[in-house]
Amino acid sequence: MNKPDGMRKPDILGFAMGILEESESREVGTQIEGDADFQAVLSRTRRLLAPLEADRLPMKAPSGLASKALALVREKQAQSALDADIAGYSLQFLEEVELTRAKNELEKNPLAESLLKRLSISLKALRSDRAPIRAPGGLARKTILHVRTSVSRTMPAAPPLSREYDPGKRRSWGLRADLFAAAGLLMMFGGVIWPAIHHQKQNQKDLECQNNLAQIWRGVASFASFKNNQMPKPELKGPRSVAGIYAPLLVENGFANPETLHVDCPVGIEKYPTHIFPSLETLDQLYQHDRAQWRDVVQGMGGNYSYSLGYRGRNGQHGGFDLRAGDRRPLMADSGHHRASHNSPNHSGRGQNVLFLGGNVRFRNQRNVGQTGDDIYLNRHFSKSAGLDGDDCVLGNSGDSPTNLNE
């Protein structure tokens, strides 16, 4: 279809679909009316679009659909009720009204009678189990005879001794060799097996101590998640200025159960002592009115574990560690020794379990396991007080203060 160069080909597809603007639609319509070829193209386009136009028509539900659906639901409900009544009639546990309804249905509905027959066949095996079990005849007499036979049975005689025993005769070297063998076994047990058992018990206690620290870390991590990832920390001064404040903070904020919170290393004790963790209000009152009793309380409320004393920030403020600060910074450990370079007394000087910020617990046989390999119980100025910066991690016992002052 060749047209003069000055004539633009109309948008026949848009015109057929009715998606053109009003002015453009009038212009295209005028062009189509004046050209038979355009009219033929428009006719073919509309034939091709006819199936698509059919899809635009709204779908109508068939007549009577709602009534048919309701009738089907009612039929299913009635069938379910009938099945329940027939099953109850077969099992004989219907009430009087339900029993009358089931009998009427059986009289007038052949389907109900057929269902009852099928249920009776299926329940026949269950009814057979209801019959009482009867013992076979003569069971009691047979049992008594069997018991009498077993009791009166003659046991075989003991074999004769290989040699006669003479009390006056001196013991032979064979007997002495047996004694020597027994003594050797006892010595081996005492020198090898017993230390192995003792070592196994030590390992078990060490693992139990690690479990205690891991449980405390879960409470500390939950606390930090509600405090902008900031771990609990002691204050610089006042009633809450001790390392052991972590325990009352966890208990009072609901992040630890006081009955299952073990703040004592299990090594060397038969069972965990009962701890009554003071409330923050109680600590405040004791600090104001009875400073000596306050000191006694804070010395034990953190158990025999040590906790982070925090650090001095660049602006001079006291800060605690962030939960996201990495896993090389110690957060807790077994209580520190009062003498420098000595391991914790909790594990007889063998070492100490150390809890790191990421939640890992490791047994270390030396104290220099800090962020930079420094002493975890002293800061870089060799003082038991708050760290000098974020890399200087210092752990204090329950009553220790970040300022090294026991107010």
Give the pLDDT mean for 139-165: 68
Q: What is the pLDDT of residue 54?
A: 64
Q: Parallel, antiparallel, or unpaired: how do β-strands 305-308 and 318-319 relate?
A: unpaired
Could you tell me if 101 and 224 lie in one domain?
no
Residue 316 in contact with residue 289, Cβ under 8 Å? no
Q: What radius of gyration do the chain's Cα atoms show?
A: 46
Domain boundary among 65, 96, 120: 120
Look at 126 and 403; give whichever has higher pLDDT.
Answer: 403
Looking at the predicted structure, is the pLDDT value of residue 200 above 60?
A: yes
CB atoms inside a 10 Å sphere around CB 72: 10
Give the CA-trace dihedral at 258, 259, 263, 265, to 10 degrees. 180
In sequence order, which ranges of 226-301 are alpha helices (DSSP H)? 246-252, 280-289, 291-300
Cα–Cα distances in Å, from 276 out to 12, 84, 154, 259, 380? 89, 60, 67, 9, 35
Domain boundary pick from 120, 153, 173: 120
The sign of the torsion formed by the CA atoms of 8, 12, 15, 20 equals negative
Poorest-pLDDT segment among 50-54, 155-159, 168-172, 350-354: 168-172
Cα–Cα distance, 194 to 202 (Å, whole number): 12
Check residue 91 and give its pLDDT: 72
Count of domains for the chain? 3
CB within 8 A of 3, min separation 6: which ones?
9, 35
Burial 180-207 (b: 16+ CB within 10 A, else e): eeeeeeeeeeeeeeeeeeeeeeeeebbe
When pLDDT is averaged across residues 73-98 and rounded to a whole number, the result is 73
Q: Which of 160-169, 174-183, 252-261 has the highest mean pLDDT?
A: 252-261
Residues 1-5, mean pLDDT to the nearest whole number? 47
Which residue type does 256 have? A
Which among 340, 351, 365, 330 is positioned nearest to 267, based on CA atoms?
A: 351
Of 150, 148, 172, residue with least CA distance to 162: 172
**Does 163 have pLDDT greater than 60?**
no
pLDDT band at 400 (very low <50, low <70, confident <90, very high): very high
Whether 407 shows a pLDDT value over 60: the answer reads no
pLDDT for 166 beyond 60: no
- Predicted pLDDT of residue 11: 85
Residue 360 in contact with residue 382, Cβ under 8 Å?
A: no
Q: Say which residues have a Cβ less than 8 Å from residue 310's Cβ, sequence separation at least 6.
A: 233, 234, 318, 319, 320, 321, 386, 387, 402
Whether 295 and 370 share a structural domain: yes
Question: Is 202 within a domain?
Answer: no
Same domain assignment for residues 300 and 256: yes
Do 365 and 299 fall into the same domain? yes
Mean pLDDT of the chain: 81
Residue 28: per-residue pLDDT: 86
Domain housing 99: 77-120
Higher pLDDT, 196 or 217: 217
Whether 323 maps to a domain, the answer reads yes
Please tell me whether residue 228 adopts helix, strand or coil conformation: coil
Asked if the structure places residue 69 within a domain, the reply is no
Same domain? 111 vs 239: no
Mean pLDDT of 126-139: 70
What pLDDT, on a 0 to 100 scale, did the predictor assign at position 5? 43
User: Does residue 132 surpass a pLDDT of 80?
Assistant: no
In a domain, 354, yes or no: yes
| Nearest-5° Cα angle at 173, 167 to 176 | 85
Same domain, 26 and 116: no
Q: Report the pLDDT averaged over residues 61-90.
A: 75
| pLDDT at 114 exceeding the cut of 70 | yes
Asked if the structure places residue 225 within a domain, the reply is yes
Indicate if 235 and 340 belong to the same structural domain: yes
Same domain, 115 and 215: no
Arithmetic mean of pLDDT, 31-48: 87
* Domain stop point among 105, 120, 135: 120
Are 114 and 219 found together in one domain? Answer: no
Residues 221 and 337 in one domain: yes
Residues 22 and 106 in one domain: no
Assess whether pLDDT exceeds 70 at residue 103.
yes
pLDDT tens sequence across 187-196 = 766 666 657 6
State how far the Cα of 184 lies from the Cα of 164, in Å rounded to an integer. 28
**127 belongs to a structural domain:** no
Q: Could you tell me if residue 231 is inside a domain?
A: yes
Q: What is the 8-class DSSP label of residue 17?
A: H
Tokens of 248: 């009352």
Residue 190: predicted pLDDT = 65
Per mean pLDDT, which range of 50-59, 141-150, 229-238, 389-398 is the poorest? Answer: 50-59
The top-scoring range by mean pLDDT among 172-176, 196-200, 275-279 is: 275-279
Rounded mean pLDDT, 275-281: 88
| pLDDT-based confidence at residue 405 (cuts at 50, 70, 90) | low
User: 15 near 32, Cβ under 8 Å?
Assistant: yes
The distance from CA 65 to its chain's CA centroid, rounded to whole angstroms, is 51
Position with higher pLDDT, 184 vs 332: 332
Dump pLDDT digits (tens) for 316-326: 788 888 888 77
Asked whether residue 114 falls in the same domain as residue 49, the answer is no
User: Is the model's pLDDT at 37 over the cut of 70?
Assistant: yes
Q: Are strands 305-308 and 311-312 parallel, antiparallel or unpaired?
A: unpaired
Residue 328 — φ and ψ, nearest 5°?
-100, -5
DSSP-derived secondary structure for 125-187: HHHHHHSPP-PPTTHHHHHHHHHHHHHTPPPPPPPPPSS---TTSPPPHHHHHHHHHHHHHHH
Within a domain: 365: yes
